Amino acid sequence: MKKLTATKDFEVRFSEVDSMNIVWHGSYPLYFEDAREEFGRKYGLGYMTIFGNGYFAPLVELSFKYKRPLAYEMQPAVRITYIPTESAKIVFEYEIYDRADSGIIATGRSVQVFMDKDYQLVWENPSFYQQWKEKWEVL
């Protein structure tokens, strides 16, 4: 089975740090969101693709583990990895690391489910998602 990953370099903005020069914990979901968008661009599973096929993909789970501080002027990146599942959901794992020394700053995980445009939970893989899984050999 293929391992699908994408990496997004980013800069810590001054507005994201506290008085100790450390990134506020509430910024991490945005970094993970940027990684999901990068993954979508790279592999054709972006939010507009999902929406264009008649579905939403809301987050139902999001977790973080902080390993070391992320500070202003560091050069971080976030690596996202698709975790295959037979269920009708999209699971990702994340690693934020310092590009200067490859040290891990934080790890995380997210789970998204599918809802139709009437906001009803979809229990089976939508056909476009099943075809996507087949294309990328992640069944």
What distances in angstroms separate CA 122 from CA 40, 58, 126, 139, one per listed residue?
A: 20, 12, 8, 18
Give the confidence band of 114 by pLDDT, cuts at 50, 70, 90: very high
Q: To which residue do tokens 């939508």 refer?
A: 126
Cα three-residue angle 135-39-36, rounded to 5 degrees = 130
Global confidence as pTM: 0.95
Mind listing the pLDDT tens digit for each residue in 52-107?
999 999 999 999 999 999 999 999 999 999 999 999 999 999 999 999 999 999 99
**Each residue of 24-36: pLDDT tens digit?**
999 999 999 999 9
Q: Outline where DSSP puts E strands in the chain.
A: 5-9, 55-56, 59-66, 76-83, 89-98, 104-113, 115-116
Cα(15)–Cα(71) distance, rounded to whole angstroms?
11
